[in-house]
Chain A
Amino acid sequence: MKAILGVLAATLVAGAAAAQPVKLGELNSYKVFAAFLEPYKKGMELATGEINAAGGILGRPLEVVIRDDGGTPGDAVRVAEELLTREGVTALAGTFASNVGLAVADLAKQRKVLFIAAEPLTDKIVWDNGNRYTFRLRPSTYMQTAMLVPEAAKLAKQRWAIVYPNYEYGQSATAAFKKLLGERQAGVQFIAEQAPALGRIDAGAVVQALEEAKPDAIFSSLFGPDLAKFVREGNLRGLFKGRPVFNLLGGEPEYLDPLKDETPEGWVVTGYPWQSIQTPDHARFLAAYQAKFNDYPRLGSVVGYAAIHSFAAAAKKAGSLDTEKLVEAMKGLTLPSPFGPVTYRAIDHQSTMGAYVGRLALKDGKGVMVDWSFADGAGFLPADDVVLKLRPKE
């Protein structure tokens, strides 16, 4: 009884001291990209709990106000306005699809508010369309492609076929791959390209067309249902026999797990081998996550977790919730993450969060990543002068 009263009293005291929470507005396409974003939400929840258990932000509790952005830029901008005006949030975070991320980034610039773009992969959000107020956490399409290129170059294969979902992510991945591999390996040829509409791949015909081209190797940036269909048809029609395949994002549990026993062994992928990462940072995260949710983390969990911690770290460094001070704090901010320390580069606001590059394998009827190594994002970005040219002047 005493204990209960004690807890109650502590809660009351804490409640009084922390009358005004610090609000972070988070918007994402929870319904449209549910597979990635449900674990993401859990990651955020874990981080929020940790931050508040450790005393909150500048002595105030952190409250993450979560909204569904409907998956469209128009709705996202409205939701962001709602977070800013009605909820009075200090900063914005989140978004998944590139077009939504870019729209919210532009709103952040217009309204002069900090935006931590957690998910969107588009290179443009920090380069062509970069702005003072927008920072991006995940390694971009360019970076993750660049992580695969050294492995690809090692093979010294001449004739490559490429398959990608026909929208910005797939297009940029393809362009980056062709450019980077072309730079490293003279005489490489890209002999076939297939660009099925996102979510609508005609896998039989696509696999057949790639097979007809008789490539030496294949680079794919498919994911989700498209990837599953491609893998199945490719296995059936023998496309992958004797051909190395590189698949961007293919090792992310979100997209790997549904493949179950049909996981294509030997594919080189970027992803997240949560089962076998032994670093203390990750072990702590994994234990806390599994304890809290009785589930294993997906990549989304890590991203959501790190995004919330990014904001907390920025506020701590700034010692203030003033937007301009937060922005200055974000520049060059370093914080720990389950993947090790991450730094938001001052030069282009891109974080150096890395990814794991490895091979797919089957274990107990499930897909896993083996022979992986960690690719630190910092090592896969263009030279500073190139970046400066890409980014508009402030």
Chain B
Amino acid sequence: MTAAALASYLLTGLAGASSLFLVAAGLSLIFGVTRIVNFAHGSFFMLGLYLAATLVEAFGRTPLGFWGGVLLASAAVGVFGTIVEILILRRLYGAPELLQLLATFAVVLIVKDAALWLWGPEDVLGPRAPGLRGAVVIFGRAVPEYDLLLIALGPAVLGALWLLLARTRFGRLVRAATEDREMASALGVDQARLFTLVFALGSALAGLGGALQLPREPASLGLDLAIVADAFVVVVVGGLGSLPGAFLAALLIAELKALCIGLGVSKLTLVIEFLVMAIVLAIRPHGLLGRPEAAPRASAVDADGAGSTPPLAWILLGAACLLPLVLGGYPLVLAIDVLILALFAASLRWLVGPAGLVSFGHAAFFGLGAYAAGIATVKLGWPMAASLALAPVAAGIGAIAFSLVAVRLSGVYLAMLSLAFAQIVWSLAFQWDALTGGSNGLVGVWPSADVSGKPAYYLLTLAVVALAWLALRRFERGRLGHAIRAVRDSPLRAEAVGLDVSGLRRAALLVSGALAGLAGGLFAFSKGSLSPETLSIPRSVDGLVMVLLGGLASPFGPILGAGLFTWLQDEAARRVDFWRALVGLVILALVFFVPRGLAGFFGTHRR
């Protein structure tokens, strides 16, 4: 590569970096002040782009029409964000962080369907910026004028935000709240108002980021999750709440991407940002410019559902054994799904609840198990029992590998590292055609003849899941389980009484990963096929949704959560056109009215 070519790639990377920074800045600001991990940030970006496309068409393609449309779109998204904050998030600031996350995820679902309803399914390609339609020659290569504008705009927005934070009263309050919430509230800051303002500003920035992409990409319905993943990575790599950090991270990632493409290894762009995140977090556990997080808010002190397994559980298990006698066909298929997802959710609940290790990438272990079983069956010709046994082993090995870096982290950083790990495993499965079948995945992973009928496979699944669930419960209540919970409650105290904190976290991950892998193995055989989707972000999110719907406090939560989630998705998808929005509304209702999850709900009523 010549020097001019290199410089030119770096220039292209700069434009990408500005775009990334614009969308990440709002997320960083919101997180810094409210500590909310806002999944809906990508949706705000998407709305900004759609709105800008509509407004600019309406105003006409004049400079005034274009820039007026862009700014108005940004403002409109700011207003929308404010509404979301006031109607939804304001009621959740005292709630556990995961519940807030769930609520913002519900917003994602609702916005996606609203956009489909408003703008239809076809991509909307907006006009180019008037006056900036051409290209100029730099380093002997054509560079779009609009890129140059973006390159200037990123640092300009960073500077404007810096001024806002450094020079205004609002900025001082924001900084105070970012650094020390208690102190800020002690200083008499009206928190509710501050949070609303910050959320409005953050969403307007997301909207602006989207609107400014108008000349560069069409508005499409898949943007939300793609963008929010990028923005998360930038914010975490930069260090949570640090705007200069976010800028640096955007620069690093965008330039690396441009270089990957320039060097002809474009396939690496699939995963480069997650590789960067994993490496940065391994070296600097709080991101490039981040500071150690204040101790995370004490996780809700959940009783662990101590006491013996209630007789109800045994009765239910007995009833479940008899299910095939009364239910045939499809309900049995659903029941198998519920059982498998219940095990997946139980393994995640154990990790997030008693072990206190939040994971956004639990699908990694589920998928590792599924792939191990699938590869053993299809490629190696192993018998089913051996393949199924391999699933938890492979996932367990994955969990150990993950834990080598992960035990040093906690809170959001750990969650994001788990996301990076899952994406890296996903990209391996996606690219390694010879072993994994690439994007198509593997087909022909059917169970052996003796359990190929639905009732037989159901009973097998029931037996495996029930045993695994009981084993997990025993483990949780046993000496090791208590020690792991002790580490969650107080790592300081745990160390001081001689517990091996890292070792116990590793054990917690191993148990959780292995059980998720077992669920993945059962899944592969129940579907007969698997693809990289078993490792994907949506599957991890589904797991969290199930856990939270069911409630963290009780080991029964995951079973209820998986049941409700499966039923909801199945029924809603069949009966309602805009089923995603419906699922989102149901999640919101549960967050508000049953915040401790179904198990907690039933629990209180029993007492």
Contact = CB atoms under 8 A, between A and B. Distances in A.
A and B directly contacting (CB within 8 A): yes
Contacts of B529: 73, 77, 102-103, 106-107
B310 to A, nearest CB: 31
B450 interface: no
Contact of B443 (A82, A129, A206): A129
A208 B570 contact: no
Interface residues of A, number: 67
B257 interface: yes
A67 B573 contact: yes
Nearest to B332: A85
A206 B266 contact: yes
Contacts of A85: 328-330, 333
Interface in A188-214: 192-197, 199-200, 202-206, 208-209, 211-212
B258 interface: yes
Contacts of B12: 202, 204-205, 208
A142 to B, nearest CB: 15
A206 B124 CA distance: 22
A262 B125 contact: yes
A159 interface: no
A34 B221 contact: yes
A157 interface: no
A79 to B, nearest CB: 8
A260 interface: yes
Interface string B15-55: 11000000000000000000000000000000000000000
Interface string A231-266: 011001110000000000000001001111010000
Contact of B134 (A98, A196, A204, A236): A236
A296 interface: no
A110 interface: yes
Interface string A23-40: 000000001101101100
Contact of B13 (A38, A166, A205, A259): A205
Interface in A74-94: 74-75, 77-79, 81-82, 85-86
B573 A102 contact: no
Given A204-B15, A204-B144, A103 B439 contact: no
Contacts of B143: 237
Query: Which label, helix, strand, loop or mixed, suits the secondary structure of the B interface?
Result: helix
A70 B147 CA distance: 37
B121 A38 contact: yes
Point out which of B9, B121, B569 has the most chain A C-beta atoms below 10 A from its C-beta: B121
Contacts of B9: 205, 208-209
Interface residues of B, number: 70
B533 A72 contact: yes
A82 B570 contact: yes
A195 B267 contact: yes
Interface stretch (B171-179, B212-220, B551-559): B212-220
Given A34-B116, A99-B531, A194-B261, A105 B443 contact: yes
A63 interface: no
Contact of B334 (A78, A106, A193): A78
B441 interface: yes
A206 B215 CA distance: 17
B441 A259 contact: no
A37 B120 CA distance: 12
A82 B125 contact: no
A225 B261 contact: no
Contact of B261 (A72, A82, A202): A202
B565 interface: no
A228 interface: yes
Nearest to A211: B141
A102 B266 CA distance: 27
B16 A204 contact: yes
A257 B569 CA distance: 33
B337 interface: yes
A202 B14 CA distance: 12
A68 B221 CA distance: 16
A82 B121 contact: no
A200 B135 contact: no
A324 interface: no
Given A34-B221, A258-B125, A103 B216 contact: no
Interface in A160-177: 166-168, 171
B226 interface: yes
Interface string B243-286: 00000000000000110011010110110000000000000000
Contacts of A67: 573-574
B572 to A, nearest CB: 10
A221 interface: no
Contacts of A74: 523, 527, 530, 533-534
A189 to B, nearest CB: 15
Contacts of A262: 125
A238 B220 CA distance: 25
A345 interface: no
Given A124-B440, A195-B267, A205-B261, A77 B142 contact: no
A73 B533 contact: yes
Nearest to A298: B122
B125 A98 contact: no
Contacts of B15: 204
B503 interface: no
A229 interface: yes
Given A204-B12, A228-B125, 20 more contacts: A35-B123, A68-B573, A73-B530, A85-B330, A98-B440, A99-B533, A102-B443, A103-B527, A194-B266, A203-B217, A204-B147, A205-B9, A208-B8, A208-B262, A209-B266, A237-B135, A237-B143, A238-B135, A258-B123, A258-B125
The 7 closest A-B pairs by CB, nearest first: A34-B121, A85-B329, A167-B439, A103-B529, A106-B443, A205-B261, A86-B330
30 contacts: A32-B222, A34-B120, A34-B121, A35-B122, A74-B530, A74-B533, A78-B333, A81-B330, A82-B333, A86-B330, A99-B533, A102-B441, A107-B528, A166-B270, A171-B438, A192-B264, A195-B267, A196-B261, A196-B266, A199-B222, A202-B261, A204-B147, A208-B5, A208-B261, A212-B1, A225-B218, A225-B222, A229-B216, A229-B218, A233-B216
Interface of B: 1, 5, 8-9, 12-13, 15-16, 116, 120-125, 128, 134-135, 141-144, 147, 215-218, 220-222, 226, 257-258, 261-262, 264, 266-267, 269-270, 328-330, 333-334, 337, 430, 438-441, 443-444, 446, 523, 527-534, 538, 569-570, 573-574, 579-580
